[in-house]
Amino acid sequence: MEEKVIIIGAGAGGLATALFLKKAGIESEVFEGASFDRESGAGFVLTPNGLNVLETLGITKISEYSFPLESETTYTSNNKELASATAVGNDFFSKSFITISRQNLMELLLEKAEEYKVPVHYNKKLVNFEDNSDSITAFFSDGSKVKGEILVGADGIHSKTREIIFPQVKPVYTGYYGIHGLVSSANVKQSINTKGNAYIDFDNYLGTFVSKCSPGSDSDILWQFIGKEERKIPATELELADNEFIKNWLSEKISGWDNPFKELLNNTENITSRNIFELEELPHWYHGRVTFVGDALHATNPMLGIGASWALEDGMYLAKMLREHGYRDAFYYFENDRKPLIDPVRKAASKALDQIVELKKMANTIYDNRIEW
């Protein structure tokens, strides 16, 4: 492949795709619609398969920017311990799970992109593209355009790339919202290390996961809150709301809780909120000279914490196929080989949150069912 690959989106999937293409001897350019200093979000869990991808890229400093997640303990909203699970030290997982801030992961990937001399452009919002017999041209809102051999849409669940090709495929509201926060351990009394804690309010379908994140950072504790809401919350009351509004709103939601999460919420300075969407299944993972990676392709309920790792893996495998085949075969094998691995998990995850809450609620009922003699 002599002409460059156009990549739309500078998130984890887009940058991983560009880096692996470079390793494969294929040039690419990355175009991001937002500005470089946009709100970078809070953080997430990376699973062992995601760590394998970073290791393959030669990103060896991941331990300096992340925290191992060795176990998780689940509590009720009044701090009663229900269960504990270990995530390392067994034959199933060759590596630990980690928690890392989104900002730190992006910094590591961008540092590698600079080392590899991969161009990354910001404020380049895709508006259309023209797929020709021998090339594809992308057009941006600032009036500029770029020509390449293929185009990769890595622009998230609300992908403009996907909308142009598959306008009938829409993101679907899951019935849940997610709120993420970062807190400085210097501002709270509780101590959090390699153990993650989950607090579940069974009656109101609310829950939060708390873990250590990004050692050495001013915001080194990550919490991820999920709540059920049948009707999508207006953007002005969630995505566009300021931190104080969200903190006050969430404080009312958990007013009956008696656990350490309240202290974390009260001391949170960085909050990211969103309605949670899933993606309808695409007819195909590619069309003409265009394919997709990450959430633009197979966004699912984030409760498994695997979306970022899938995006990294997508970039690695797509680049491998493009190294070995022309783009038509590469796109075919990319879908043929990856879809059977991802689809069953994606479909199961769409109902998993309700099922897990119901099962834990039932277990809690049994736990409390003391027989009177």
We report the CATH number of the domain holding residue 110 as 3.50.50.60
Asked if the structure places residue 297 within a domain, the reply is: yes
Query: Is the pLDDT score of 107 beyond 80?
Result: yes
Q: If we measure between CA atoms, which residue out of 11, 20, 15 comes closest to residue 330?
A: 20
Q: Do the domain assignments include residue 32?
A: yes
Range with the poorest average pLDDT among 33-47, 145-159, 257-271: 33-47
Look at residue 370 in the predicted model and tell me its pLDDT: 45
Residue-level pLDDT at 97: 83
**Parent domain of 321:** 5-40+102-171+280-352
Taking a C-beta distance cutoff of 8 angstroms, is the pair 287, 328 a contact?
no
Mean pLDDT of 230-256: 95
Number of domains in the chain: 1
pLDDT-derived band at 239, boundaries 50, 70, 90 = very high
Tokens representing residue 355 in the block: 């099922």
What confidence tens digit (pLDDT) does each residue in 65-83 have?
888 888 888 999 999 988 8
Residue 221 lies in a domain: no
CA distance 345 to 92: 17
pLDDT grade, residue 373 (50/70/90)? Answer: very low
In a domain, residue 212? The reply is no
pLDDT band with cut points at 50, 70 and 90 for residue 266:
very high
Whether residue 30 is contained in a domain is answered as yes
192 is a domain residue: no
What average pLDDT does the segment 201-225 reach?
85
If we measure between CA atoms, which residue out of 140, 135, 163 comes closest to residue 151?
Answer: 135
259 occurs within a structural domain: no
Per-residue pLDDT, 39: 52
Average pLDDT, the chain: 87
Parallel, antiparallel, or unpaired for β 5-8 and 28-31?
A: parallel
Tell me, yes or no, whether 198 lies in a domain: no
What is the pLDDT, as a whole number, of residue 356?
Answer: 58
pLDDT > 80? residue 367: no
d(CA 54, CA 56): 5
